[in-house]
Amino acid sequence: RDPGAALTSAGRARPGTAAPAAAAPRPGECGSAGAHRVTGAGVGIGRTLGKGHFAVVKLARHVFTGQRVAVKVIDKSKLAGEAAGQLLQEVRCMKLVQHPNVVRLYEVIDTHAKLYLILELGDGGDMFDHIMRHEGGLAEPRAKHYFAQIVHAISYCHKLHVVHRDLKPENVVFFQEQGVVKLTDFGFSNRFQPGKMLTTSCGSLAYSAPEILLGDEYDAPAVDIWSLGVILYMLVCGHPPFQEANDSETLTMIMDCRYTVPPHVSAQCADLISRMLQRDPKQRASLEQIEGHTWLQGVDPSPASRSLLPLTSHKRVSEEEHEIILQAMMCGNIADRDTIQE
């Protein structure tokens, strides 16, 4: 997979790298290196957060609301046929999926040379880093809170016949201000027809279902459910269930479905993990069975406070943020200061 496709809306080019904080532009910086410039969507583009072969992720700020977003800038000249098709599929799926626990694709700007994806920006890092800071895993109530949200998002995707195919903690982003986690990186996503098998091998070794690794035809929902099992295991254990010294040994463990649950994990949680990590995809729990499992009872994945946030936010901005917006608007020749302040 091209590294560019792995860039997430959180702005990382590789697992474990947090997006750097953005610095506000100083007055008069419009023409200097690294200064904000304005795209056709009214977004002031700032510093680079991550980059790959054909894509760069930039921190940006909406010039009218001050809301921070991520802009994925794709160089169309570097896209081969397969990569171009994959990118188109990613955009289609993200435009279709509008859910409180999925990173939002606000807008797509298509120019002759570049494609700009304006994405919701997480403010709390990714789940992989969070797990790595908790040796032995998270407490089950906290793990349950996060896992229920991921299941809620995937259930919604599957109802729209969208399969993610790259579920892993690195692709779950924290939004601390909203108090939620959100699924990101739909680079391997695709539409599916119920009952019709898919054939593309994709994803990451440690999280991929056995049938994908074997190159077999596979049922789309079942491969996401396997990955959900790996994520839940990591949440409560602090490490992947299938991880050996080399890929060959890891592959053997996955094919044998051989893993060990530490004694501190409750019997109910271990049971749910085992229902998802089934070698035979037909034996895996369905999403309905996962949501109805005893371990997840009493968890509300979507409280009333969790709502979709529009790009045109009505949040009051500080004087410093107001000055940033003014500077960005003037840099883009939208209007002069006096006209804007009127």
Q: Per the residue annotation, which of 75, 110, 126, 166 is the catalytic one? A: 166
Same CATH topology for 3-121+312-341 and 127-296: the answer is no
Question: What's the Cα-to-Cα distance from 174 to each of 129, 206, 234, 340, rounded to whole Å?
Answer: 10, 22, 16, 35
Q: Which residues of 59-73 are buried (b: 16+ CB within 10 A; e: fewer)?
A: bbbbbebbbbbbbbb
How is the chain split into domains, by residue range?
3-121+312-341, 127-296
Question: pLDDT by residue for the chain (342 residues), tens digit each?
Answer: 333 333 233 333 333 333 322 333 333 333 333 444 555 556 667 778 777 777 888 888 876 677 888 888 888 888 777 777 788 888 889 999 999 999 999 888 888 888 888 899 988 889 999 999 999 999 999 999 999 999 999 999 999 999 999 999 999 999 988 889 999 989 899 999 999 999 988 888 999 999 999 999 999 999 999 999 999 999 999 999 998 889 999 999 999 999 999 999 999 999 999 999 999 999 999 999 999 999 999 887 665 334 444 443 334 546 665 666 556 556 544 455 565 444
Question: How much is the pTM?
Answer: 0.76
Assess whether 126 carries a catalytic annotation: no
Q: Which residue has the tokens 């790259």?
A: 166
- CATH T-level assignment (fold) for domain 3-121+312-341: Phosphorylase Kinase; domain 1 (3.30.200)
**With contact defined as beta carbons under 8 Å apart, do 63 and 332 qualify?**
yes
- CATH T-level assignment (fold) for domain 127-296: Transferase(Phosphotransferase); domain 1 (1.10.510)
**With contact defined as beta carbons under 8 Å apart, do 161 and 191 qualify?**
yes
Q: How many residues belong to the chain?
A: 342
The answer to the question of whether 78 is labelled as a binding residue is no
